[in-house]
Amino acid sequence: MSETTQSYTPGTHPDLPPPTSTVGVVGWVRKNLIASPLDVMLTLLALYLLYLIIPPIVDWAFLDAYWTGDTREACAGREGACWVFIKVWFRQLMYGIYPAGEIWRINTGYVILVLAVIPLFIPNLKGKRWIGVFLLIGYPLIALYLFSGFSRGTANAWPFRLMGFSAIILGILALLPLLGVLRERSAVISMVVLVVTPILGLAAPSTWTSGMLRGAPGLAIVLAVLLLVLPALLLAAATRLSQWRAAVADNFGQLSVATAALAFIGGALLILSWDEVVFPSPPWALPVTMAMLVLATMSPWGHDRQAGLAGWLARFLLPVYLLVVYLILVGPPDVLNFGFLDWRANTRPLFTAVESQIPLVETPLWGGLFLTLVISAVGIVMSLPIGVVLALGRRSDMPVVRAICVAFIELWRGVPLITVLFMASVMFPLFMPEGLTFDKLVRALIGVMLFSAAYMAEVVRGGLQAIPKGQYEGAEALGLSYWKMMGLVVLPQALKMVIPGIVNTFIGLFKDTTLVLIIGLFDFLGMVQLAGTNPDWLGFAVEGYVFTAFGFWIFCFSMSRYSQRLEKQLATGYKR
């Protein structure tokens, strides 16, 4: 029996291939372009418009364009695009007026970032968590020193910078146990950082320590002693008396948040005042930061009533830390100035050599695409966690927390970004104490970050409201704490749902960086406008705008495509 006449029992007939007219290119054309008479008309109209638009653009941008030369005379009598303009100004468009001899530092930062990000895209690669920690903590510090460099006096100010960094790191470690992450490890790392920091700080310049306590102790030292000793006494009493220990442990969750916030603020203030810490008397930021270090280290310990290894380390290392801090405040005796602790003989020449190799580059010299990437990266990375916290606070059952978050969100969403930047640049310094100043770029970064965080909070809140109530009830039935419920059950689902909204906010933030021109920072678009006003290149701004638009499109399109890929990987779409 032939194939065409062969009979099959019901359900045993093999599947036949679909008609060729319904699959492939032919099928796509019939379905999308000529499915109906109206589709045919629209397709012909679109082809006609493309015929009118694309050939002139190709002629202007490629066929009739000028590519060689170094002056505007190379484009004399031009009919097409003069890409010589981009060629001549390319370095300024990429790096601003950053010194030519120091551009290797920016490129090195790019290479480190790319090498650190590539492993994150490798499936099933172990250790991605530590790569993420490096990108969030380690890389910003490396990039900060690479891009800004070291100012004069780095050798003298290094112990205080080290304590500022330690305050920020310990503040982050204080938050981890609150989120149910690395409880024991966080406390152990805190203890190590807490002791290593002041020991390295013993290498302080002798000119600073020699005049520290001439006459009566200053108010700053008295404050430091109180802030350092009282928490230690409270902690010691809590470990002795069970009822005190229970009370302290039950309230350490809220204390951790406050401690981390103080550590962030204190550490940031100290870092931002690097050029002002070298004085014959102790700066106010020093004792306050030391107190924050103690509180931030005690905080992870307080999450574990049994204490364990962290508790024993705290009992042993906290007195050692207090002793070392006292030596820093008072000044180490001469008997300790030996080996690597001898600042003048060993440590200071090392930092002096670093100062000469990586000199300071002021932020007004930053510009171009480099400045756009710095502002957008900081805004994107910092606005998401802040937005998540604000969204959770807006849905909190505590009226005070909810009111503060609502007021913050509505305030920042109620004003345009250009107003925020103007206030941060012009008005904010007027409200600061005399002698305390912040870099203009830092003020712009804070303004962009907080502005974007307010919008991000509403995006995240939409995701939180989309989670069924049963998810909350199920997590509570399992006995999960609030932070575990949010971190393990609610937020992973909510953030997956709002990936398009989050990426949309990121794209908007990336494009809004062009507004920093209003405060005198020349980003990618600002440098194009600056180059277009050059007397030697008047009339060539169109090429610069096209080049800038293409650059922005590349970054925005890449973020959009990556978000779509992420949605597919996480299966966030619900097909009906």
pLDDT in tens, 213-239: 443 344 444 444 455 445 545 554 544
Is 42 within the bounds of a domain?
yes
What percent of the chain clears pLDDT 90, i.e. is strictly above it?
24
pLDDT in tens, 280-293: 444 444 555 555 55
Which pair of tokens denotes residue 550?
Answer: 């293409």
Mean pLDDT to the nearest integer, 302-321: 52
* Whole-prediction pTM: 0.75
Residues 470 and 512 in one domain: yes
Distance between start and end Cα atoms, the chain:
44
Answer with the residue of higher pLDDT: 521 or 244: 521
Residues 369 and 257 in one domain: no
Mean pLDDT to the nearest integer, 245-258: 49
pLDDT in tens, 172-195: 665 565 555 555 566 566 666 665
**Greatest mean pLDDT range, 127-131, 163-167, 216-220, 450-454:** 450-454
Mean pLDDT to the nearest integer, 81-108: 92
Residue 556: its pLDDT value, please? 93
Residue 239: its pLDDT value, please? 47
Residues 208 and 295 in one domain: yes
Burial classification of residue 87, based on how many CB atoms lie within 10 Å of its CB (0-12 exposed, 13-18 middle, 19 or more buried): middle
CATH of the domain at 474: 1.10.3720.10
Residue 321: its pLDDT value, please? 57
Q: Is residue 277's pLDDT more than 60?
A: no
Cα 10 to Cα 7, 13, 14, 301, 379: the distances in Å are 9, 7, 11, 71, 63
Of the candidate ranges 11-20, 454-463, 469-478, the one whose mean pLDDT is the lowest = 11-20
Q: Give the pLDDT band (50/70/90) at residue 244.
A: very low
Q: Is residue 81's pLDDT more than 60?
A: yes
- Return the axis-axis angle of helices 183-201 and 285-302, rounded to nearest 10°: 150
Determine phi and psi for 16, rounding to 5 degrees: -95, 150
Residues 395 and 330 in one domain: no
368 DSSP β-pair partners: 523
Residue 209: its pLDDT value, please? 43
Number of H helices, E strands in the chain: 24, 0
81 sits in the region (left: phi over 0; alpha: psi -120 to 50; else beta) called beta
Number of structural domains (the chain) is 3
Task: State the chain's maximal CA–CA distance in angstroms.
Answer: 116
Q: Which of residues 335, 357, 379 is at a domain's end?
A: 357
Which DSSP letter does residue 359 get?
B
Residues 6+ apart with CB under 8 A from 550: none
434 sits in the region (left: phi over 0; alpha: psi -120 to 50; else beta) called beta
Residue indicated by tokens 């020349």: 522
What percent of the chain clears pLDDT 70, i.e. is strictly above it?
62
Q: Is residue 427's pLDDT more than 50?
A: yes
Residue 240: its pLDDT value, please? 47
Residue indicated by tokens 């990437």: 373
Residue 159: its pLDDT value, please? 61
Q: Which domain holds residue 19?
A: 1-63
Residues 373 and 490 in one domain: yes
Answer with the residue of higher pLDDT: 33 or 202: 33
**Contact criterion met (CB below 8 Å) for 184 and 313:** no
What is the C-alpha to C-alpha distance for residues 379 and 506, in angstroms, rounded to an integer? 9
CB atoms within 10 A of CB 107: 13
Q: Which of residues 357, 374, 407 is at a domain's end?
A: 357
What is the C-alpha to C-alpha distance for residues 438 and 483, in angstroms, rounded to an integer? 35
Mean pLDDT to the nearest integer, 490-501: 90
Mean pLDDT rounded to a whole number for the chain = 75
pLDDT in tens, 12-54: 777 777 777 777 788 888 888 888 888 889 999 999 999 999 9
For 150, the 3-state DSSP assignment is strand
Residues 161 and 277 in one domain: yes
